[in-house]
Amino acid sequence: MKVTLAQLNPIVGDIAGNARRVADLLPRAAAASDLLVLPELFLVGYPPRDLLERPAFIARVQEALADLARLTRSYPDLGVLVGAPRPTGREQGKGLANAACLLYRGELAAWRDKSLLPTYDVFDETRYFDPGAHVDVIPFQGEVLGVSICEDAWCQEEWWCRRLYDLDPLAMMARKGATVLLNLSASPFQVGKESVRHRLMSSHARKHGLPFVYVNQVGGNDELIFDGRSLAFDERGEALALLPAFREAVLEVDLTRPGTPGLFVPQEPIAGVHDALVLGIRDYLGKCGFTQAVVGLSGGVDSAVVCTLAARALGQENVLGVAMPSLYSSPGSLSDARDLARNLGVDFRVIPITPIYQAYLNSLATLFPTDTLDATLENIQARIRGNILMALSNRFGHLVLSTGNKSEMAVGYCTLYGDMSGGLAVLSDVPKTMVYELAEQVNREREIIPRSTIAKAPSAELRPDQTDQDTLPPYDVLDRIIQHYLVEARSYDDIVGLGFEPATVRWVMRAIDNNEYKRRQAAPGLRVTSKAFGMGRRIPVAARFEV
């Protein structure tokens, strides 16, 4: 059997546009293969979220499926397996299934509903879908297709520290006589996941002695980034095909041929994060109708990394860097920002904020003393900068990219309506220690981010001789505590037992909990780790709890 793997980048909600992408592939797929396979929920893009609750939206999906089915009459030897929401017609439950639909010879010939509906982290599928009532196979052109959807193939304990499901859909389909296993997926990127995914999908083929095809969505949709990396294996679990990461690809695969040992080579983790963020920026802006971005350049490593990623995502001509020095800014910060902009070839402007800051002080002096620098006055400086960037955004149509990293966001070392202002928080899931790794990745071939930017002590420069470590623990310590508490959900006693200083652990944990209200008001951020702030983290703000 020959299969065309179509690793494409859908736009959420663009049913007509996504359907056109399928239609455009039919001639090529028909000339080279028996079956065209596309990702999970491809016709609506993943995740469609509450669009699924609109009856008119679901009706348009069914019309698009019917139109695509009619097109297959012209390609009688080709089947098309595409993901779409399917009304079940049942009165109980949600009345909707996450389905893989087989279009063949002018009809919706068969379908397979997703059995395992993830409801954790960023996934909320039981909000919209009913699980498949049956696990059936699909006879097709002398083969028997065992079709699964994303989570259906993630039920092994290799991925989970505890088993989430009693059901193993792939094993059931193998017992029912499947001759090939296929998985339509929308599996988001996270650092380190691609190796686990490869091992898991290879083990399915090896365990059941069947060829296995895995087609994953690629692209950025809001906070989620999908890396593609679609796969095909022979019955021994050896790779037949490996599609690239972070870009669209279409490939025909002959499932009767033997695989190639050693074909899979994982990407370096920090290179994967870099490429994910570039794709996330490009798609977030592009799918929201923006073509240009503006970044506040402080001379620090965070803004330097964001500006570099933006230039790579959008093109240097579409990025504006703005330095906004104050009386507390060092000369080196301005020169570092200027050197970065020159190295990248982006437009660069300087807007001093000291006169604006002084006007604030004069206005506020009638209400409280302004001759002593405190957090209030520090935050005013950050908010002036945020207002300037938003003014440029309003006037010129650039999207503001905020530059705060995960370490700062975690403990609230950021200013509401100041450095948190923006349309996309590029580094909000990137710890500070990883930001430095990204800077080195950027400079791998030549120096783009000035070495002085990377080497100097990080500082907000909101008061004389300020450094981040005046307020925060060292970043290597802070990031490890954040990992243990935020990601691994360890208790205070557990973390202290790992050798951390008790007062530091208590401060970090309280800072994380007390600053949830800030994160609720932050711009959407791009997810690259297993636990990001945003849609996958649901912590109450008005709460009192011990951990």
Selected catalytic residue, list 101, 150, 307, 414:
150
d(CA 504, CA 335) in angstroms, rounded, equals: 35
307 as an active site residue: the answer is no
Selected catalytic residue, list 40, 194, 235, 378:
40
Selected catalytic residue, list 94, 101, 114, 235:
114
d(CA 102, CA 433) in angstroms, rounded, equals: 47
Question: Within its chain, how far is the Cα of 181 from the centroid?
Answer: 27
Percentage helix, strand, coil for the chain under 3-state DSSP, each rounded to 5: 40, 20, 40
d(CA 63, CA 16) in angstroms, rounded, equals: 10
Cα separations in angstroms, 313 against 191, 279, 282, 379: 19, 7, 5, 31
Cα separations in angstroms, 429 against 100, 190, 517: 32, 10, 17
114 as an active site residue: the answer is yes
Q: Encoding tokens for residue 36?
A: 């065209």
d(CA 422, CA 387) in angstroms, rounded, equals: 10
Helices H, strands E: what count in the chain? Answer: 16, 21
Contact 38, 8 (CB under 8 A): yes
* Alpha helices (H) along 214-317: 269-288, 301-314
Q: Encoding tokens for residue 469?
A: 């470590």
150 as an active site residue: the answer is yes
d(CA 264, CA 196) in angstroms, rounded, equals: 12
Contact 237, 206 (CB under 8 A): yes
User: Where in the sequence numbering do the catalytic residues fall?
Assistant: 40, 114, 150
